[in-house]
Amino acid sequence: MQRLAKRLQDVQAQHKAAVAEAQRTCPHTSVLEAQSKNGILFYWPPLRVCQACGFTEEGFHFRVLTTTALEVSRDQAVEIGRRAVWAP
């Protein structure tokens, strides 16, 4: 069982490294943006996500995802970013 747990850790580390490399080298040409969202008890700043690699930036001054973005809902942006990172 310990060997299996170790193998799982190794695969997870390899996946994390592969995602980081893909995000570092991606040209980020297909960007989605979710506008800020106000609620009674919370505030979420604008969020941008690259459709290709899942790289995400949140805030008012984007440093990496600077290309023109297509506006979507926050839920859509989060789901697309998650799907891009975890796609097999």
Instruction: Tell which residue, 72, 80, 10, has the closest CA to residue 51.
Output: 80
**Is residue 56 within a helix (H) or strand (E), and if so which, with residue range?**
strand 56-58
pLDDT tens for residues 37-54? 887 888 889 999 999 898
Q: Is 59 helix (H, G, I), strand (E, B) or coil?
A: coil
User: Please, which pLDDT band fits residue 26 given cuts at 50, 70 and 90?
Assistant: very high
**pLDDT number for residue 49:** 94
pTM: 0.77
